[in-house]
């Protein structure tokens, strides 16, 4: 589970980094929306994907050493290992009267509590929108509904509902551009994207890249809505002034698409930015290798063909990796460095060793072997001792040789005192055959590394790397980089200039004057006078209609 979580974090981190560094700077908003949603879902799916790999040819076959009863029940290997581990854990725990508290058992509890908090927050946001919809007046339009909110809020949309302050509806202060902006959100179904990211945050709140995804998705929504408004031949400067009037507006709910979510300065840049068609196509194609590489690196690799004698089953292979990973810890060395060590105290080493021995060479390259037992089993045959020459019959003594397992380290016996010649043992034909078998793999690897095919591939890689390096060092590429930096500096300089700041101040001042006029008693009296006259005209019209109806009845 930990491995899957880390893979998910790595995938989402790579995908959002590519977007923030490359894609978000270009004007291709529809593709960016597809990229963000697709990679968000892929980052959770890739760790569970499996890609088959062809079995290597001419690999020495490892003889099956797993007993028949284990091979027939390899699917239940997790239960066997877990059962034996529990037994060993119980024995080791019973031997210690005092043990330190394991704080890791609190991790699931903390996760459940915070997940519950996020779920309640999600439900609360939905209920707030539901209550806001039911408790306020609604005006049905073609394809959407306007909710006249009594409180002072900023205009926002959620699915087919447009939430607008009631005072703005009565005073007719909502500009057509604002309506078109929010209608673009509703038409393009942006609320589905926000709802998806908020739902994922319930269970994966610990993933920091999800929050970057949410900000990027909502930012891109604003780009899309701005583009939809400006495509209707509206004045860009006038539209930008409207945005400046809404600069202080705040979002009302995490589930809605607020009007002024993005920094106004960045939206202004995107309104005037142009991206060439060739550059757009190149960036889209460049994102494909990123997806493929991420899938290959973080997906699960399995052998396409697992045959008897050529490897263990997928379930057994995964269980071996799981058990070894749990038992692996980092140990600090004397020089300050850290190395990984497999603690075999709570493992069924015999069962796992049998699994490892049955693996193919390809599978063995993907896992860690168990450390060899340091105990030394005394074999009287290796010592050249024949009990028959001593006139001793072990059967008469009731001794079973299979039950004898002598650990010389525990007995404190020195081999030199027994007269054992280790030089003869290590120079024996059996020992030399064993060493030769171990060296087979290294010789084959070295042979392949020295082959013309491998050398050709290395030369091609070096050639391509040299070409890329040459292009990056070329005056043409450096000129493009310098042009981009100069343009960015000019834009930054303009936005920091006194002229631009003066324009902003003038717009804010005019907006304040208009706001002051709308709130003045004079304007309010005019509104009341208009309402009074409208009411009188309505009564007069009703009176005339009643008179006409009465005359019609007499006639």
Per-residue pLDDT band at 401 (split at 50, 70, 90): very low
From CA 427, how far away is CA 249, in angstroms rounded?
Answer: 85
| Tokens (6 digits) for 190 | 């942006």
The more confidently predicted of residues 435 and 125 is 125
Nearest to 92 by CA among 342, 344, 372, 374: 344
Per-residue pLDDT band at 278 (split at 50, 70, 90): confident
Per-residue pLDDT band at 510 (split at 50, 70, 90): confident
Residue 287: its pLDDT value, please? 87
Q: What is the DSSP secondary structure assignment for residue 428, as one 8-state letter?
A: S
Mean pLDDT computed over every residue of the chain: 75
Nearest to 250 by CA among 185, 166, 155: 155
The burial class, CB within 10 Å (0-12 / 13-18 / 19+), for 231 is exposed
Task: Please list, in sequence order, all residues whose beta carbon lies within 8 angstroms of the beta carbon of residue 339, skipping any fewer than 6 positions away.
Answer: 330, 331, 333
| pTM (predicted TM-score) | 0.50
Residue 116: its pLDDT value, please? 96
Average pLDDT rounded to a whole number, residues 425-443: 59
pLDDT digits (tens, 9 = 90+) for 335-348: 778 788 887 777 87
pLDDT > 70: percent of the chain:
70
Cross-strand pairs, 257? 157
Nearest to 320 by CA among 10, 66, 56, 43: 66
Residue 177: its pLDDT value, please? 81
* Count of CB atoms situated within 10 Å of the CB of 39: 22
Nearest to 214 by CA among 280, 261, 156, 160: 261
Per-residue pLDDT band at 27 (split at 50, 70, 90): confident
Q: Of 103-112, 193-202, 401-410, give the lowest mean pLDDT range.
A: 401-410
User: Cα dist. 445→440, 442, 450 in Å?
Assistant: 9, 5, 9
| Tokens (6 digits) for 183 | 């209608």
The more confidently predicted of residues 450 and 17 is 17
| Tokens (6 digits) for 297 | 């690196």
Question: Which residue is listed with tokens 């290597």?
Answer: 56
Q: Is 172 left (phi over 0), alpha (psi -120 to 50) or beta?
A: left
Per-residue pLDDT band at 263 (split at 50, 70, 90): low
**Which residue intervals of 48-105 are DSSP H helices?**
68-72, 77-94
From CA 323, how far away is CA 315, in angstroms rounded?
Answer: 12
């Amino acid at each position: 589970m930990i491995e899957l979580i880390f893979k998910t974090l790595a995938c989402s981190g790579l995908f959002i980094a590519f977007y923030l560094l490359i894609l978000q700077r270009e004007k291709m908003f529809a593709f960016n929306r597809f990229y963000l949603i697709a990679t968000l879902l892929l980052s959770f799916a890739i760790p569970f994907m499996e890609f088959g790999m062809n079995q290597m040819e001419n690999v020495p076959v490892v003889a099956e050493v797993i007993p028949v009863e284990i091979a027939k029940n390899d699917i239940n290997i997790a239960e066997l290992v877990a059962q034996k581990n529990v037994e060993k854990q119980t024995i080791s725990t019973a031997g210690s009267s005092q043990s330190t508290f394991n704080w890791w058992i609190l991790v699931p509890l903390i996760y459940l509590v915070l997940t519950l908090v996020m779920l309640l927050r999600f439900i609360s946001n939905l209920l707030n929108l539901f209550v806001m919809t039911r408790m306020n007046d609604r005006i049905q339009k073609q394809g959407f509904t306007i909710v006249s909110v009594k409180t002072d809020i900023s205009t926002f949309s959620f699915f087919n509902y447009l939430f607008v302050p009631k005072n703005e509806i009565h005073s007719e202060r909502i500009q057509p551009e604002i309506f078109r902006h929010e209608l673009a959100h509703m038409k393009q179904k942006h609320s589905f994207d926000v709802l998806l990211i908020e739902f994922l945050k319930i269970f994966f709140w610990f993933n920091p890249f999800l929050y970057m995804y949410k900000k990027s998705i909502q930012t891109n929504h604003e780009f899309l809505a701005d583009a939809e408004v400006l495509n209707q031949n509206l004045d860009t400067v006038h539209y930008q002034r409207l945005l400046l009037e809404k600069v202080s507006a705040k979002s009302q709910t995490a589930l809605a698409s607020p009007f002024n979510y993005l920094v106004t300065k960045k939206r202004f840049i995107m309104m005037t930015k142009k991206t060439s068609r060739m550059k757009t196509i190149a960036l889209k194609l460049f994102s494909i290798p990123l997806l493929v590489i991420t899938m290959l690196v973080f997906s699960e690799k399995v052998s396409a063909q697992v045959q008897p004698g050529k490897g263990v089953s997928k379930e057994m292979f995964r269980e071996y990796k799981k058990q070894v990973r749990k038992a692996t810890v980092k140990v600090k060395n004397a020089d300050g460095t850290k190395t990984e060590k497999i603690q075999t105290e709570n493992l069924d080493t015999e069962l796992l060793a049998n699994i490892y021995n049955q693996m193919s060479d390809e599978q063995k390259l993907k896992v860690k072997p168990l450390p060899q037992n340091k105990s030394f089993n005394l074999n009287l045959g290796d010592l050249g001792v024949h009990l028959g020459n001593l006139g001793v019959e072990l059967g008469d003594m009731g001794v079973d040789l299979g039950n004898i397992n002598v650990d010389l380290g525990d007995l404190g016996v020195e081999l030199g005192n027994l007269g054992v010649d280790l030089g003869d043992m290590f120079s024996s034909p059996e020992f030399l055959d064993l060493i030769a078998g171990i060296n087979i793999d290294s010789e084959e690897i070295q042979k392949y590394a020295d082959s013309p095919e491998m050398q050709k591939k290395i030369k091609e890689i070096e050639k391509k790397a040299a070409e890329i390096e040459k292009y990056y060092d070329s005056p043409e590429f450096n000129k493009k980089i310098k042009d981009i930096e100069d343009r960015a500096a000019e834009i930054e300089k303009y936005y920091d200039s006194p002229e631009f700041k003066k324009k902003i101040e003038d717009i804010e001042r005019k907006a304040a004057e208009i706001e002051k006029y709308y709130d003045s008693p004079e304007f309010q009296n005019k509104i009341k006078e208009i309402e009074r006259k409208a009411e009188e005209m309505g009564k007069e019209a009703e009176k005339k209609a009643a008179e006409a109806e009465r005359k019609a009845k007499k006639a």
